[in-house]
Amino acid sequence: MEPPDMQVSRVMKLCLFEREESIFAMWPFTERRRRKRKAVAWEASLYCTPVGVTERLQAQVIEISPNGARILLHRMHLRSYHLMVDNNPDELEMVIQMPEGEVRSNIILRWYNREEDEQLFTVGIEFCDMPEESKVLLQEKIKAL
């Protein structure tokens, strides 16, 4: 019989091996978005209202589609709130400022990654309950790209 140290080590190696196999099984990644995103460089603001007090966070939209976007944030927290994946869409509203007007929508955070070398967070969002005038403006801007 092996000493307990060796048993634990063998179990850890097995878990790591299984994890590596599952990671390699994901390659190449399959594109699952409903619509293709277009590259942009638009300024936006996130308004967070988790407990009745609205706080603002600056963002930059780097990819856009009619259903969602990829944005850059300098931080994932406000004074009293940490932004979470699968948040309540009523707590977060994004406003994209454009010369033609504003695109407003409640949003859900779907994923985020920290970009170590740039001190930024890349965040994938989905639009929810977008007003019709914002939908029309966004579709026109995307079509013009």
| SS3 state of residue 117 | coil
Q: Which domains does the chain have, with CATH numbers?
A: 38-144 (2.40.10.220)
Per the CB < 8 A criterion, the answer to whether 135 and 106 are in contact is: no
For residues 68 and 130, the answer to whether their CB atoms sit within 8 Å is: no
DSSP 8-class letter at 30? P
Rounded Cα–Cα distance for residues 68 and 125 (Å): 5
- Considering the entire predicted model, what is its pTM? 0.72
Which residue ranges of the chain lie beneath pLDDT 50? 2, 4-27, 29
Predicted pLDDT at 11: 42
Per-residue pLDDT at 36:
77
Amino acid type, 113:
N
